[in-house]
Amino acid sequence: MGAIPREGLCPPVVWSQAEWLVAEVDESDGTISEFSPEITLALNLDWDHPGYYESEAKLDVTFRALFERTQQTVLIPDSNARLESLVGGLGAQVLRFGERGDYIGHLQAAPAQSSTLVLSGLFAPQTITVPCASAFNASNALAALAAATTAGFTLCAEPLADFAGVMRRQDCLYHSAGLIALADYAHHPEELQALIVSLRKDYPGHQLVGLFQPHRYTRTRQYAKDFARELQRLDSGYVWPVYAASEKLLAEGTSASILSQLAPGSSITAWPQDNPDRAWAQLDVCSKQSPTVLVFIGAGDIYKVAREWKARLLESLLNAPEAFSLEAIQPFLTDGTYLKQAEPLSNKTTLRVGGAARWYAEPVCREDLQVLRSYAQSRNLPVFVLGRGSNILVTDEGFDGLVIRLSHCAWRQITRLEPDRMWVGAGVRLKEICGHASLWGLSGFEFMEGIPGAVGGAVRMNAGAMGGWFMDVVESVEWLTPQGELRISSPAELDVIYRSTRGLQGGVALGVVLRAKAQQTPAEVEQRTQTLSQKRKSSQPRESSAGCMFKNPENNFAGKLVDEAGLKGLQRGNAQVSAIHGNFIVNLGQAKAQDVLDLVKEVHTRVQAQTGIALEPEVQLLGKSWKDII
């Protein structure tokens, strides 16, 4: 696919053995002629590559040929006269989407960050949310849903709920009450017009300021006048030098060609290369005077300029003296990112005790994760990364810092890498790995069945069971260092020991590549997984717990020592040493974190008194240090 998903972790292309292959067909270099799709979805048709197609007519012939090669269905918008003129008398059926098409979508509301579509026509009637900005993105979403329905898929409720959007398609970089900054890929006059018209509609009462980088000299030469006409729809703006895209300089196709076509006194000017700071300062002043939409437009590298702009704005927030505030950081975050104050944590841990996190976030993408971490660090606020909370004890007082959890679907991708490896996001549950491994006939992961954690926690804890160790099946870990650098490291580089990957301390695991021990039949893998699962079920308590409370001492077992000290069944408040497994402390229903802490202390003291062995907690304590307890 051409566009890059916002998640960053979700690859734009996944090659699998699925029945359908979804691909963006590229007309820019003529490779469009190689495709004979089952379903063709055409969103629009512009003479976008005059360097390749000498005339509009040649482009039309190319598209008509694509439609003729289409086997089943051609999908087009309900109001595109040019595409309409190319679909008469086709062998494939032609279906339309839009306000009046075969697939009908009525846009009910398009607030800054999401919109509501009411589906009807060939769709089963339902109302859905499109979780990204603008009528333009809503229309693209409608087209995608129409294609999926045509292909025979049944839409679930809220089919786009987990979609974090794609970059550079009215991609919202910043959104406060007075300033909205977007990045968009528009690079043809028609696209520029569509963009500006839709922004006027979506942001009434805002002044529109654009930074436009023309793309290719050939296109700029062809459309200089049209670009100038469309740019004048903005309230003000700058024209960047042309992004060459490997073309040789054409004197009549530069940004000056556009500027020379502007009306005298136009508020669109050349970007002041020699003094950009002055221009940035002007933009700053202008956006403070009245509500502003600032849009970075173009298909070249203007996106980098947008990112630098955002980084500068963030830098000034990081350097400001004020305390951590939701209002201050929210404008930098993607809409889907959840950020809340005083979020209870007991329901996010398997032990089900403890207080709240002062701040809590579920970021939808890596960028938001980094923004949140650096903001917290700039405020000296401790950050804790929570997985599925199956190895965590939260104190009753809670955690006076920021808890970050990678639970959005962006972190839950599993992709098979042929033949015997898989890419797995940090938020994927170990159980899901077992499920996929069985399906794909990949062995070596069976020991994970029944460990109730996710990948991030399993990496950090080097989770293990029945002789298998998580880091033994890891080929590489993608992670962020405490300083925010992205790294890909092998287990050998991460200082892996029993129940800890020490090199990851203070970092955040984003995902891993796992390698199977062997390839077998799905039935064989499934059978071994079930055997281990049964073994686990018969030897572990069913009540809420955090798994093994203590690490096994060298050449010994913590559970055995607790048992031999006669502590099974020992109770403090509503917490109890399990009668089934001495190393499990269970919550009988209403336990407080303090009950568990009292019990840990008691067990620790009595085992040490009896055996001389000081048990070391395996469970991570959040809110206090174990040193203060035992």
Ligand X SMILES: Cc1cc2nc3c(=O)[nH]c(=O)nc-3n(C[C@H](O)[C@H](O)[C@H](O)COP(=O)(O)OP(=O)(O)OC[C@H]3O[C@@H](n4cnc5c(N)ncnc54)[C@H](O)[C@@H]3O)c2cc1C
By CB under 6 A, name the binding residues for ligand X. 350, 384-392, 406, 426, 451-454, 456-458, 460-461, 463-465, 504, 508-509, 540, 545-547, 620
Report the nearest approach of ligand X to the CB of residue 457 (Å): 2
Least gap, CB of 365 to ligand X (angstroms): 14
Minimum separation from the CB atom of position 529 to ligand X (A): 14
CB under 8 Å to 409, separation ≥6 — which residues? 162, 427
Least distance between ligand X and beta carbon 496 (Å):
13
Cβ contact 114:129 at 8 Å: yes
> Of the two residues 458 and 496, which places its CB atom closer to ligand X in the complex?
458
Q: Which is nearer to ligand X, 132 or 621 (CB)?
A: 621
Which of 406, 405, 411 lies closest to 425 in space, CA to CA? Answer: 411
State which residue, 257 or 390, has the beta carbon closest to ligand X.
Answer: 390
d(CA 231, CA 228): 5
Is 231 or 461 the residue whose CB approaches ligand X more closely?
Answer: 461
Which CB atom, from 482 or from 522, has the smaller least distance to ligand X? 482
Pick the closer one to ligand X by CB: 146 or 406. 406
Nearest to 93 by CA among 168, 146, 153: 146
Residue 476 and residue 473: Cα distance in Å, rounded?
9
Nearer to ligand X, 173 or 510 (CB): 510
Angle between helices 430-440 and 522-539 (to 10 degrees): 150
Residue placing its CB nearer to ligand X in the complex, 160 or 385: 385
Give the C-alpha separation, 602 to 567, whole Å.
9
Query: ω into residue 214 within 30 of 0, thus cis?
Result: no
CB-nearer residue toward ligand X: 53 or 411? 411
**Are 459 and 483 contacting, i.e. CB atoms less than 8 angstroms apart?**
no
Nearest-angstrom CA–CA distance, 570 and 431: 31
576/587 Cα distance (integer angstroms): 7
Q: CB neighbours of 612 closer than 8 A, spacing ≥ 6? A: none
Are 128 and 116 in contact, with CB atoms under 8 Å apart?
Answer: yes
User: What is the rounded distance in angstroms from the CA atom of residue 413 to the CA atom of residue 487?
Assistant: 19
Of 218 and 552, the one with the shorter C-beta distance to ligand X is 552
Residues 6+ apart with CB under 8 A from 352: 346, 544, 587, 591
Residue 4 beta carbon to ligand X: minimum distance, rounded to whole angstroms = 22
CB of 323 to ligand X, least distance (A): 24
Calpha distance 575→588 (Å, rounded): 6
Residue 488 C-beta: closest distance to ligand X, Å:
14
Min separation Cβ 544 and ligand X, Å: 8
CA angle 600, 601, 607 (to 5 degrees): 85
Range list of H helices, 232-351 = 255-259, 276-289, 302-319, 326-329
CB of 519 to ligand X, least distance (A): 25
Rounded CA-CA distance 9/488 in Å is 13
Q: How far is the CB of 622 from ligand X (least distance, A)?
A: 8
